[in-house]
């Protein structure tokens, strides 16, 4: 695949499925007399780590001398009963720059995307965020009303929020008092209308975020004003 002057995402063959297949074959062909086929941890073949690293080292970022461009590798690992301490998950985790752990229990509970924030981690962290997002995201861990915060996360495959919309959503969901007068089932509807109302009536908010990359006092004052106005309109609509 050519990666010149473009960006590509590479999803390699499922590492866990490949490892299980190799494991099954190994248990058949490996015998005590076969010195070249020695099992390692959890009876997996000894070269599993090498195979995984070969797949993932294909990710690259080319410099200007090579025409620029990048390829990002996204390995997907299936866990057994959610056990991330097993050989294959830890193998891949040790190679990559972090992991997003999707939980079946959270998915069935209606929390989508069903990301387990306790296990998920990024080695890149906040260095990839603008100052405005860093400031807003700090408040997430201070809130105990997880059910309401969960409702602020878009679950539609076609809905992608811009940075300013993410800031509006997180700020509204994590600051005490703004959503307390709403039922949990009303939160998503309110946030959609809030983002639309803000973009239409206070376009300067988006301009501030994009131009300064920070959540300034002016931006916060505009947002507070719009939240109050939209909440009054929303409650009147719901009562009508």
* Residue pair 205/164 in contact by the 8 Å Cβ criterion: yes
Q: Determine whether 123 is an active site residue.
A: yes
Q: Which residue has the tokens 């020695």?
A: 38
Q: Cβ neighbours of residue 225 under 8 Å, at least 6 residues apart? A: 202
Q: Among 112, 123, 143, 148, which one carries the catalytic annotation?
A: 123
Query: What Cα–Cα distance (Å) separates residue 83 from each residue in 75, 78, 103, 177?
Result: 17, 9, 11, 38
Instruction: Judge contact between 79 and 121, C-beta under 8 A.
Output: no
For 10, the enclosing helix (H) or strand (E) is strand 7-10
Rounded to whole angstroms, how far apart are CA atoms 186 and 231? 11
Number of neighbours of residue 79 by Cβ within 10 angstroms: 17
Catalytic residues, by residue number, are: 123
């Amino acid at each position: 695949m050519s990666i010149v002057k473009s960006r590509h995402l590479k999803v390699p063959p499922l590492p866990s499925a490949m490892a299980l297949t190799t494991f099954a074959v190994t248990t058949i062909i490996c015998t005590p007399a076969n010195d070249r086929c020695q099992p390692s941890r959890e009876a997996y073949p000894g070269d599993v780590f090498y195979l995984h690293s070969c797949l993932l080292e294909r990710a690259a970022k080319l410099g200007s001398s090579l025409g620029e461009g990048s390829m990002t590798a996204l390995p997907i690992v299936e866990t057994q009963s959610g056990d991330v301490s097993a050989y294959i998950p830890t193998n891949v985790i040790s190679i990559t720059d972090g992991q997003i752990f999707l939980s079946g229990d959270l998915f069935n509970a209606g929390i989508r995307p069903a990301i387990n924030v306790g296990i998920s981690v990024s080695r890149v962290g906040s260095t990839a965020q603008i100052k405005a997002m860093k400031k807003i995201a700090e408040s997430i861990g201070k809130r105990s009303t997880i059910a309401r915060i969960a409702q602020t996360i878009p679950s539609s495959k076609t809905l992608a929020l811009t940075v300013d919309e993410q800031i509006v959503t997180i700020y509204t969901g994590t600051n005490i008092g703004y959503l307390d007068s709403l039922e949990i089932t009303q939160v998503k509807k309110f946030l959609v209308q809030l983002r639309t109302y803000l973009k239409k009536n206070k376009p300067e908010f988006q301009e501030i975020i994009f131009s300064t990359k920070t959540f300034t006092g002016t931006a916060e004052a505009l947002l507070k004003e719009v939240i109050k106005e939209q909440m009054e309109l929303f409650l009147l609509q719901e009562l009508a």
